[in-house]
Chains A and B, each alone.
Chain A
Amino acid sequence: MSAIVYQIPLAQLEAFRGLAAVVRSERPIDLVAELSSEDIGNLAYVQLCGLPSDTDVLVHWAEGLPVELLLDQPEQKFPSLYRYTKLQDNHPVRIAIPVEPGFEKAVKLASSLQFAVKLEIGQPEPALIASLARVLDGYLHKSTVTQPIEFFHSVLLGYCRDEPIDLWAIQEEDPALIRTIDEEGRECLPGRLSSLVPGPAPDEFVADWSTGLSAAGAECTECPFFSACRSYFKWPDRDYDCAGVKALLTTLKQAAEALRADLAAAASSLGATP
């Protein structure tokens, strides 16, 4: 079983030193000042909040350490991604983008600048499904998209390789894998679960949630994507209509099957096993 990763504000780092962590901050210069090389060794990545302006200090700091940039208000703020391209000289950089009106432009620019993308998808409104379908089409078919767009990327690879898929893990919202530390130092459930009071067995949250919905006869019972999704898209509104996201997952599954067939054909022509 994987160790839990703690998503920690820099100000609370002292109490959590030595744990596997993601450290978040709005001030890059503070990251440089306060994280020791030992701390950096325990980091999965650092998360930059609020589109900070002084990221020059990170260009040559902790080279190789992944950086995630939170792009809130994507419709208004997406052009500012140009200011962060130099970080890529020495860091893998991912842009976390909430799926809300205008996010499509942000994804397009992020991909055009060769940033990886993580969609904070939640429960997208029907009006956003068409945008998501266009983004997915770009991810699958546009030669100008060269970096991963999550969750698409991990789901595609999972289907292609016939490996288990876990959307809660991909979206970094499974309490068995990740916990958030709030600004006051309290341990919370991650992502969209953060408003919940942690129960006695937070590791069991996803299993409890998904089996509960299945037992109640929700849409999940018959869903072909249940093993990958485990009712991810039913949180927090259990009555959310999954038709749109199922269409996205269907497209991904079909693309993975086509890709697998192509790889098998290519391997066969080379006399190898895929």
Chain B
Amino acid sequence: MINGNHLSLVLLSTNQCNAACDYCFEDKTRDRLSLERLQLIIGKVLDHMDAHGIGALTINWQGGEAMLLPPSWYREAFDWISVAAAQRGKRVEHGLQTNLLAYTAEWDGLIAEMFGNSISTSLDYPNLHRKVPGHNPEHYDALWARKLEMARAAGIDVKVISVLNQGTLEIGAERFYEHLVDELCITDFQINTPFPGGGDNATKQSLALDAAELARFHCELADLWLERGQQLGVSIGPFDQLMNYFMGRPFSLPCIWGKNCADELIAIDARGNVAQCDCWVTSYPGHVFGNIIECDSLSQLLWNSSARQQFSERPIRLVQSDCIQCDYMALCHGGCPIRTYSVSQSLFEKDPYCDLYTSLFRHMERRGIEVARDLAAAR
């Protein structure tokens, strides 16, 4: 059961998107949340939190494309959620993941108030797959860059998620770092590995990357960050959190390496479907836990879901195979369910990026020891 002190909710305010990225894992529809449906959903989420003594909720708003609903909608949503949560003594924080394409200055006040003047967007470099319908990736990049500039001019902190592709490996870590940090002045970003989630297409069939090349890229980028960025306050996930881990500082690893993501988060889409995360909720009907609009109780929905039970059992099954032999099991726990399933059509295999992860963990552990020694020597 999802209990404890905190619940993380990925909430798709719409299943619709204004982009047409070839590698997207979502099955997009025109569904949008009405405020009435939102209230129903949040009411049941708060009921679940009450039932399990959960005091804090983080809502990560996504889509589709979340900015296809107007700021006025989010303003009403924010106000209603704030009041409803306060009445139950719950704390709520909001995050926004957006492609920025629909961003205008009308969003600025809301972003400041609801999202702490900080949002997250996506950028691949080179961009091979992200497109506006009917246009090429260059068009997307130009539009995105204009919106980024506008948001920054408004004082908004913009974080970036970047999915690696073959082109990224070919240009190398140095060029990638230069583009993001030196040219675009992005100081907080996270690199993600690709996976062929959702419906199949030719692009998804070509997403696989050579594990050794991928590991080399990660390690080289981590070293660049340590040499150039860390001192200047540049943050690159997951290197920053791995460094924290190996240096004994407080850390927060990405969800792909959680002990058991079934205990930590759920996603709800604009139709009310509930699933493990945004990677599953629109695209894998067979893995949906149920529909929160149709159910009486989210707690019961989660408790009775055989689909959710499979996610919950995943690390328990994996640790009985070779994961228990791994030096870094504490960091990974078998890795990400969607990366596994989209490649092997099974939840009960370990993450296909296992070799990358172990190489990266080993590298960051070594670098952590070196940095600690340097710090000690400098005293």
Closest to A269 in B: B379
State which residues 267-324 of B face A: CB under 8 Å: 315-317, 319-320, 324
Q: How far is the CA of A143 from the CA of B248 in the complex (A)?
A: 8
- Give, as a whole number of angstroms, the nearest-CB distance from B317 to chain A: 8
State which residues 319-334 of B face A: CB under 8 Å: 319-320, 324, 327-331, 333
> Which residues from chain B contact A112 at a C-beta distance below 8 Å?
329-330, 333
Find out whether the CB atom of A79 lies under 8 angstroms from the CB atom of B319: yes
- Give, as a whole number of angstroms, the nearest-CB distance from A55 to chain B: 10
Chain A positions 164 through 191: 1 when the CB is less than 8 Å from some CB of chain B, otherwise 0: 0000000000000000000000000000
Closest to B319 in A: A79
Q: How far is the CA of A269 from the CA of B246 in the complex (A)?
A: 23
State which residues 115-162 of B face A: CB under 8 Å: none
State which residues 145-187 of B face A: CB under 8 Å: none
> Which residues from chain A contact B330 at a C-beta distance below 8 Å?
111-114, 144-145
- Give, as a whole number of angstroms, the nearest-CB distance from B71 to chain A: 35
Q: How far is the CA of A78 from the CA of B331 in the complex (A)?
A: 18
Q: How far is the CA of A143 from the CA of B333 in the complex (A)?
A: 16
Chain B positions 324 through 351: 1 when the CB is less than 8 Å from some CB of chain A, otherwise 0: 1001111101000000000000000000
- Give, as a whole number of angstroms, the nearest-CB distance from A16 to chain B: 30
Find out whether the CB atom of B52 lies under 8 angstroms from the CB atom of A144: no
> Which residues from chain A contact B324 at a C-beta distance below 8 Å?
105, 108-109
> Which residues from chain A contact B4 at a C-beta distance below 8 Å?
59, 86, 89-90
Which listed residue, A80, A86, A89, A90, touches B316 by the CB 8 Å rule? A80
Q: How far is the CA of A146 from the CA of B3 in the complex (A)?
A: 24
Q: How far is the CA of A108 from the CA of B4 in the complex (A)?
A: 24
Closest to B1 in A: A56
Q: How far is the CA of A112 from the CA of B253 in the complex (A)?
A: 14
Instruction: Give A residues with C-beta under 8 Å from B.
Output: 56, 59-60, 78-80, 82-83, 85-86, 89-90, 105, 108-109, 111-114, 142-146, 266, 269-270
* A80-B316, A266-B379 as given contacts; A144 in contact with B327, CB under 8 Å: yes
Find out whether the CB atom of B260 lies under 8 angstroms from the CB atom of A85: yes
> Which residues from chain A contact B1 at a C-beta distance below 8 Å?
56
> Which residues from chain A contact B260 at a C-beta distance below 8 Å?
82, 85
Find out whether the CB atom of B263 lies under 8 angstroms from the CB atom of A86: yes
Chain B positions 343 through 379: 1 when the CB is less than 8 Å from some CB of chain A, otherwise 0: 0000000000000000000000100100000001001
> Which residues from chain A contact B248 at a C-beta distance below 8 Å?
143, 146
Q: How far is the CA of A65 from the CA of B317 in the complex (A)?
A: 30
Which listed residue, A60, A85, A145, A266, touches B376 by the CB 8 Å rule? A266
Find out whether the CB atom of A270 lies under 8 angstroms from the CB atom of B259: no
| B193 proximal to A (CB < 8 A) | no
User: Known pairs A80-B316, A112-B330, A144-B331. 10 more at Cβ < 8 A?
Assistant: A56-B3, A85-B259, A85-B263, A89-B5, A112-B333, A143-B245, A144-B327, A145-B330, A146-B248, A270-B379
Closest to A270 in B: B379
Q: For this complex, into which size category does the number of interface residues on chain B fall?
A: 20 to 34
> Which residues from chain A contact B52 at a C-beta distance below 8 Å?
56, 59-60
| B53 proximal to A (CB < 8 A) | yes
Find out whether the CB atom of A82 lies under 8 angstroms from the CB atom of B315: yes
Closest to B333 in A: A112
> Which residues from chain A contact B316 at a C-beta distance below 8 Å?
79-80, 82-83
> Which residues from chain B contact A105 at a C-beta distance below 8 Å?
324
Instruction: Give B residues with C-beta under 8 Å from A.
Output: 1, 3-5, 52-53, 245-246, 248, 259-260, 263, 315-317, 319-320, 324, 327-331, 333, 365, 368, 376, 379
Could you list 7 A-B pairs, sorted by A, with CB under 8 Å? A79-B320, A82-B315, A83-B316, A85-B260, A86-B3, A86-B263, A90-B5
Find out whether the CB atom of B5 lies under 8 angstroms from the CB atom of A143: no
Find out whether the CB atom of A143 lies under 8 angstroms from the CB atom of B315: no
Q: How far is the CA of A59 from the CA of B54 in the complex (A)?
A: 10
Which listed residue, A59, A78, A109, A143, touches B53 by the CB 8 Å rule? A59
Closest to A108 in B: B324
> Which residues from chain B contact A144 at a C-beta distance below 8 Å?
327-331
> Which residues from chain A contact B333 at a C-beta distance below 8 Å?
112
Name, among A105, A113, A142, the residue most crowded by chain B CB atoms within 10 Å (CB to CB). A113
Nearest 5 A/B pairs, CB to CB: A112-B330, A60-B53, A144-B330, A89-B4, A79-B316
* A59-B4, A82-B319 as given contacts; A143 in contact with B263, CB under 8 Å: no
Find out whether the CB atom of A143 lies under 8 angstroms from the CB atom of B246: yes
Q: How far is the CA of A105 from the CA of B326 in the complex (A)?
A: 11
Name, among B324, B328, B379, the residue most crowded by chain A CB atoms within 10 Å (CB to CB). B324
Closest to B379 in A: A269
Find out whether the CB atom of B5 lies under 8 angstroms from the CB atom of A109: no
Q: How far is the CA of A78 from the CA of B316 in the complex (A)?
A: 9
Closest to B364 in A: A143
- Give, as a whole number of angstroms, the nearest-CB distance from A77 to chain B: 11
> Which residues from chain A contact B263 at a C-beta distance below 8 Å?
85-86
> Which residues from chain A contact B259 at a C-beta distance below 8 Å?
82, 85, 113
- Give, as a whole number of angstroms, the nearest-CB distance from B363 to chain A: 13
Closest to B318 in A: A79
Q: How far is the CA of A85 from the CA of B315 in the complex (A)?
A: 12
Closest to B331 in A: A144
> Which residues from chain B contact A269 at a C-beta distance below 8 Å?
376, 379
Closest to B245 in A: A143
> Which residues from chain B contact A83 at a C-beta distance below 8 Å?
316
Q: How far is the CA of A60 from the CA of B320 in the complex (A)?
A: 30
- Give, as a whole number of angstroms, the nearest-CB distance from A19 to chain B: 30
- Give, as a whole number of angstroms, the nearest-CB distance from B256 to chain A: 16
Q: How far is the CA of A145 from the CA of B245 in the complex (A)?
A: 11
> Which residues from chain B contact A145 at a C-beta distance below 8 Å?
330
> Which residues from chain A contact B319 at a C-beta distance below 8 Å?
78-79, 82, 109
